[in-house]
Each structure stands twice: as C-alpha cells, then as structure tokens.
Amino acid sequence: MSKREQGFTLIELMIVVAIIAIIASIAIPNLLSARLNANESAAIATLKNISSAQAQCQASGIIDTNTNGQGEYGFFGELSGAQLVRGSTLRIQPPVLSSAFGNVTGSRVTRSGYLFQMYLPLATGAGVSEDATGGDPDNGQNVDAPSAETMWCCYAWPSVMGNSGKRTFFINQGGDVLATNGAVDEYDGTGDAPVYGAAFVAGGSNSMSEQIAGNTVARDGNTWIVVQ
C-alpha cells in the first residue's frame, strides 16, 4: 500500500484541527458582533416604524375616548388591530402596525432579540403600560385622553444583555431615537426593564411632558445619545 493510500497521519490531523480552532476563534466573535449589530439596527428601525404607526393612529382619530375630535395615541394591542381601541367596539382596520405586535406578553412585545414596551400618560402625567395581554379596551388603566393626544413613549432593550444586544433605545412623540449603553443602570430581559421615565432629564418631575435626555444624563443616571 502506498503512503498516499494510507490517509492522514496523526500529526497532520492535529494540524488541521489546530487550524480550524484558530479560524473559529476569529470567526465566532465576529459573528456574535454582527448579530448584535443586526439586532440593534432592527430595534432602531422598529421604533421608527412604531413612531409612524402612532402618527397614523392619532391622525385617523379612531381612538377618541373624550369625543372631542382629536385622535389619541395607542398601545401595541390597538395599533396592531389585535384589541379593540379604548372606549370603542372598533379595531384599527387595516392595522397601522404589524399583527406581530398583537402578541403582547407581560405588557411587552419581543422582536429580534429585543423587548418593546409602550407607555401612555395618566392624568397625573406619569406613564402607564398596556394590559398584560395587550391594549386597554375598557380604559381600566385610566389613560388620560387629552394627554394621550400629544404624548407617548416606547423603550426597547435586549432580551439577553450581551447576547441579543448591548444598547437600550427610546422614542417618543418627538420622533428622535435615543440610545444608552447602560453604563450606570443596565437593562436586561424581563427582570431588569427601564421604567417609563428612565430616559427623561434628571431632576425633572414625574411627568411624560418633561424633556427627554438627548445627549445628557437622564433620571436613571445613564447618558442617552440621539441616534443619527
């Protein structure tokens, strides 16, 4: 039998394994980084889509619990058409947001490694999230109609910090997306979520009408940067 027919030697196999290990050690971190970047880009794009959906909802006037002719902003369950709109027997049809946002669990929606949570204002000015399974058709959360005509906000944070994303994002009726790396207060999954006022300026009142902390320190101690 010739040497060629004998196959690889043990040393040759070890060299091949070593080369594969070296390539993997270089490629795997790059793949993880690429996935994190892709998830973060998707979260930013989703927040911008949510902003557009809110504008359409408000302009349509389909949510008008105080019947003054001024439309109000909605929760995920309402925007997706999965739930009746507040104070009505109607749904938004066609929905202004993907039906996937009707899958609300614990008042949150999970998309591409990120958790999303919507807040609307109470009469006190504080923010309140939607029902655990989405929407608020009976107005049980006491959303303030006049305030909901002008204010809303939404957060997006990693479902697994460092694995599905590294930054937390925020948007409100102003349309600017803010981001923080959570240097002071890191948000991670269902156990460590941002409260509604986390991205508002430090030292302000507990109201959604307060200025958001674009490029400044916020109530949570983090610096929130406007995403370009």
Q: Is residue 210 part of a domain?
A: yes
- How high is the pLDDT of residue 218? 95
- Considering the domain boundaries, does residue 5 fall inside one? no
What are the tens digits of pLDDT across the range 106-116?
Answer: 999 999 999 99
What is the reported pLDDT for 76?
Answer: 98
Count structural domains, the chain: 1
How many Cβ atoms sit within 10 Å of the Cβ of residue 70? 15
Separation CA 146–CA 66 (nearest Å): 8
Q: Has residue 125 been placed in a domain?
A: yes
List the chain residues with pLDDT less than 50. 1
Q: Is residue 4 part of a domain?
A: no
Q: Is 1 domain-assigned?
A: no
Domain extent for 111:
10-226
Find residue 225's DSSP bridge partners: 179
Residue 11: per-residue pLDDT: 77
C-alpha to C-alpha distances, 36 to 44, 45, 178, 187, 224, nearest whole angstrom: 12, 14, 17, 15, 19
Report the candidate in 60, 196, 34, 181 with the shortest Cα–Cα distance to residue 122.
Answer: 196
**pLDDT value of residue 9:** 76
pLDDT of amino acid 27? 60
Determine, yes or no, domain membership for 82: yes
pLDDT at 1: 46
